Chains A and B, each alone.
Chain A
């Protein structure tokens, strides 16, 4: 898969690196310190280290240690109670070589002004997001992700807003803005509006999700392009990844954006002065703030930079989907109740129905077994891949990351074989009522989970609801079993992930072939597990501990004998 996947090659490389006794790429800490001090900032450094659960193939790192460098520009006439952050995440796959230059130029310019009422922190992090996470945890004095970071020597008050910069060339043709953050959190819409205002004022070309702003909203093209942008945002928000440093700031309720300079093949190019002016304007406006940004929306979807869809408009859609589950559960409840009444008085006729403790008790007991087994499978899916990677690498010629991913897939597929085993545990009294009761419980479980997910990360909840709700509502042992089985497999969480990857690349106009898609899928699985351990992303635990057991229950229902 990557450079480190062949164990032989890996050992050779490790020996080489050890012999050189130098890291492959490191931040020029001393130079940065010197330069920032000459500009007039208060400079501090922070070191951090972390051993990842398994080697990260995409970033080629495993045992990470680094140093963050940050300089604080103190407000000349205000108490240092609030601050703004301009951050440049630097990494070995450095798509960020020019941004440090712009950061230092802006620092020198800002230092000459007297109208700052908040401190400004200029932060350069090593190992991009890992460094940012270490700095944020030390700044807020928490330890959320198991990072070992040294405490910060210099602090500047509560952070009001942050802007992350990523520039890979010294001329840009457009500026791309990223808003989706960790676990689908979004900054206040006012910050995006601020960026868009300065784009318009400075005449910069600004893109969202890599797409230009549709000009023509009257014909079909504009809304269609808006729909594509919206779908891209939904997919990115659903993935729960921090798409840039800003995503990690959002956890501490610091409004943040990432600005990426894109150098494409357009004719008209902007130099860094234009980008710097836009940034200066943004920071000056943020300086005028007296309260945290709170007047605009926190939950929204963006079809374009100048348009948004508020939660009041899109939440009912998820509500209706969950209503389907609720109604189906109600129907099953009624059927179960009628079946009870029918069993009690086969003669029929009106009369008060007496609840039957004995058979109901058996029904409940027969439900516990599938529930426990499904949840155990989910737990296995969550815990085993990372725990068992070393055992796997000893017995199989795979790297750790590959081992993790393949174990994930193996356990996932093993769950499909479950129904043939659970029946040995379950007693077969009143088989019809057994599956109906199980389906009832599964429907309520799914509705609860999707409801909770939709509240915190709407895109994820909606995406899973659109795929899982029809299959879940339809699953029953009678009828065309193969068809229902195919539908259920196609709408399982893993298949949804695969499909959304294809959809995402399709929308970005870089479609994938099947092989590429499969490779990307495997990489996404590894990244998902890794991000859960390093940043606390919740996609992996939600899918493995929550939705996968639920899906298994429906699979059980489908194969009920």
Chain B
């Protein structure tokens, strides 16, 4: 007995060690899985795609927006979760030699208008006011559901804007502008109303980087097609249609997105590399300081696709006795309620620590001694000219 006991001690120790290791491996595997599951923290995807310019010669802006729409839809976001705003109708424009089509590649290779495009805000409805109302949710009750952004705090939102812009503004429809400050404030409103989990903002206009300079809300990642002082250029004119078909940045983003499928593991760092200066002529920029996760851990499909996560549970929930359970748990809560914790939002972020603001440049003042010396000199000269006898009355 003692021998078996003696034999079993190392054996048990070995078994214990093995079990522990298995357990730890299993546990780490489960942890990995759990981490995978809750990696991004979002449960649904929305997209707001805006083309802000009208007129036939801004064909390329509509083609830009429609290409992103096409990719987003292909990767799984349904029309009910896409708010598409097009400021002009290019497909049915009388100047279109190929009616009911909008091409993004010359020689009419790719028609991005398709058969099932659902435009939510069209023509003159695309205004700054409507755009901000969509973002912040302050919409009149009569607005149909397709025109609302019904996101919650577990939504990842893709916002794509294109049109004509400048340093700090984006032009809507030739008559009004939205400034980068307005946009940043709108995003802050969204944050405070818990309307997004993470936001990806892409803008393809001239001097696009100025539009994301002022963001201060957390969990925003921004990409722009050009830096301040640079113009975003268009890609190819089509001689049959007579206008430029796409802008360069979005053209190469479209090419990049055509390679993505819903199972892709491509991450944001690859998106940052799209369209280097040699192809784009302008320098695309991006901003990730407000974003909590590392961009290399962020999948493209986190924003462009709608990948549903499934959580498998082995618990059973008895729904009939649910009311008793509810009541009893409620009573328990009431009894436990004496030490009341102050209520606060989960994950309250210290925003100021996240945003690294540039130190403000103070105006240069001459050193104090200089001013003092100057005044002393003036007083000396005064007394020299008018007589030194006055001095003793001063000092």
A287 and B97 contact, CB distance less than 8 A: no
CA distance A75 to B92 in the complex (A): 14
* A78 and B94 contact, Cβ closer than 8 Å, known pairs A284-B242, A288-B242: yes
* B97: chain A residues within 8 A (beta carbon): 113-115
B96's partner among A75, A115, A284, A290 (CB-CB below 8 A) is A115
* A284: chain B residues within 8 A (beta carbon): 242
* A75: chain B residues within 8 A (beta carbon): 94
Q: Please tell me if B256 contacts chain A, counting CB pairs below 8 Å.
A: no
A117 and B57 contact, CB distance less than 8 A: no
* A290: chain B residues within 8 A (beta carbon): 55-56
Within 8 A of A (CB), among B40-93: 55-57, 92-93
* A113: chain B residues within 8 A (beta carbon): 97
B56 and A77 contact, CB distance less than 8 A: no
A76 and B95 contact, CB distance less than 8 A: no
Q: Shortest CB–CB separation between residue A351 and chain B, in angstroms?
A: 45
Q: Please tell me if A521 contacts chain B, counting CB pairs below 8 Å.
A: no
A288 and B57 contact, CB distance less than 8 A: yes
* Tally of chain A residues near chain B (CB < 8 A): 13
The digit string for A280-292, where 1 denotes a CB below 8 A from any CB of B, is: 0000100110100
* B57: chain A residues within 8 A (beta carbon): 288
Q: Shortest CB–CB separation between residue B87 and chain A, in angstroms?
A: 13
* A115: chain B residues within 8 A (beta carbon): 94-97, 242
B55 and A77 contact, CB distance less than 8 A: no
* A77 and B242 contact, Cβ closer than 8 Å, known pairs A115-B94, A117-B94: no
CA distance A284 to B56 in the complex (A): 13
Place the interface of chain B in its size category: 10 to 19
* B55: chain A residues within 8 A (beta carbon): 290
Q: Please tell me if B114 contacts chain A, counting CB pairs below 8 Å.
A: no
* B99: chain A residues within 8 A (beta carbon): 77, 114
CA distance A142 to B92 in the complex (A): 37
Give the residue among A77, A113, A284 with the most B Cβ atoms within 10 A.
A77
Q: Please tell me if A502 contacts chain B, counting CB pairs below 8 Å.
A: no
Q: Shortest CB–CB separation between residue B122 and chain A, in angstroms?
A: 17
- Name which residue of chain A comes closest to B92, CB basis: A77
CA distance A287 to B93 in the complex (A): 12
- Name which residue of chain A comes closest to B96, CB basis: A115
CA distance A75 to B277 in the complex (A): 43
The digit string for B217-259, where 1 denotes a CB below 8 A from any CB of A, is: 0000000000000000000000000110000000000000000
Q: Please tell me if A70 contacts chain B, counting CB pairs below 8 Å.
A: no
Q: Shortest CB–CB separation between residue A156 and chain B, in angstroms?
A: 14
Give the residue among B55, B56, B95, B99 with the most A Cβ atoms within 10 A.
B95
Q: Please tell me if A116 contacts chain B, counting CB pairs below 8 Å.
A: yes
Within 8 A of B (CB), among A107-137: 113-117
Q: Shortest CB–CB separation between residue B245 and chain A, in angstroms?
A: 15
The digit string for B83-122, where 1 denotes a CB below 8 A from any CB of A, is: 0000000001111110100000000000000000000000
Give the residue among B56, B57, B94, B242 with the most A Cβ atoms within 10 A.
B94
Within 8 A of B (CB), among A348-380: none
CA distance A287 to B95 in the complex (A): 8
Within 8 A of B (CB), among A286-316: 287-288, 290
Q: Shortest CB–CB separation between residue A543 and chain B, in angstroms?
A: 46
CA distance A387 to B178 in the complex (A): 67
CA distance A115 to B92 in the complex (A): 11
* B243: chain A residues within 8 A (beta carbon): 288
CA distance A117 to B94 in the complex (A): 5
- Name which residue of chain B comes closest to A114, CB basis: B97
* B94: chain A residues within 8 A (beta carbon): 75-78, 115-117
- Name which residue of chain B comes closest to A118, CB basis: B94
Q: Shortest CB–CB separation between residue B98 and chain A, in angstroms?
A: 9
* A114: chain B residues within 8 A (beta carbon): 97, 99
CA distance A288 to B244 in the complex (A): 13
- Name which residue of chain B comes closest to A290, CB basis: B55
* A76: chain B residues within 8 A (beta carbon): 94
CA distance A115 to B243 in the complex (A): 13
Q: Shortest CB–CB separation between residue A53 and chain B, in angstroms?
A: 46
CA distance A75 to B93 in the complex (A): 12
Within 8 A of B (CB), among A56-80: 75-78
- Name which residue of chain B comes closest to A285, CB basis: B242
Q: Shortest CB–CB separation between residue A110 and chain B, in angstroms?
A: 13
* B92: chain A residues within 8 A (beta carbon): 77
CA distance A75 to B95 in the complex (A): 10
CA distance A78 to B94 in the complex (A): 6
Q: Shortest CB–CB separation between residue B91 and chain A, in angstroms?
A: 12
Q: Shortest CB–CB separation between residue B308 and chain A, in angstroms?
A: 43
- Name which residue of chain A comes closest to B56, CB basis: A288
CA distance A413 to B21 in the complex (A): 125
* A78: chain B residues within 8 A (beta carbon): 94
Q: Shortest CB–CB separation between residue A558 and chain B, in angstroms?
A: 60
CA distance A75 to B56 in the complex (A): 16
* A117 and B242 contact, Cβ closer than 8 Å, known pairs A77-B99, A288-B57: no
Q: Shortest CB–CB separation between residue B275 and chain A, in angstroms?
A: 28
CA distance A451 to B93 in the complex (A): 47
CA distance A77 to B97 in the complex (A): 11
CA distance A288 to B99 in the complex (A): 15
CA distance A504 to B99 in the complex (A): 53
Q: Shortest CB–CB separation between residue B89 and chain A, in angstroms?
A: 12
* A288: chain B residues within 8 A (beta carbon): 56-57, 95, 242-243
- Name which residue of chain A comes closest to B88, CB basis: A290
- Name which residue of chain A comes closest to B93, CB basis: A117
Q: Shortest CB–CB separation between residue B238 and chain A, in angstroms?
A: 12
- Name which residue of chain A comes closest to B241, CB basis: A115
Within 8 A of B (CB), among A85-120: 113-117
Q: What 8 pairs across the A-B complex have the smallest Cβ distances? A: A78-B94, A117-B94, A77-B94, A115-B97, A117-B95, A115-B95, A290-B55, A288-B56
Given contacts A115-B97, A117-B94, A290-B56, 20 further A-B contacts (CB under 8 A): A75-B94, A76-B94, A77-B92, A77-B94, A78-B94, A113-B97, A114-B97, A114-B99, A115-B94, A115-B96, A115-B242, A116-B94, A117-B56, A117-B95, A284-B242, A287-B95, A288-B57, A288-B95, A288-B242, A288-B243
A-B contact pairs, 21 of them (CB 8 A): A75-B94, A76-B94, A77-B92, A77-B94, A78-B94, A113-B97, A114-B99, A115-B94, A115-B95, A115-B96, A115-B97, A115-B242, A117-B56, A117-B93, A117-B95, A284-B242, A287-B95, A288-B57, A288-B242, A288-B243, A290-B56
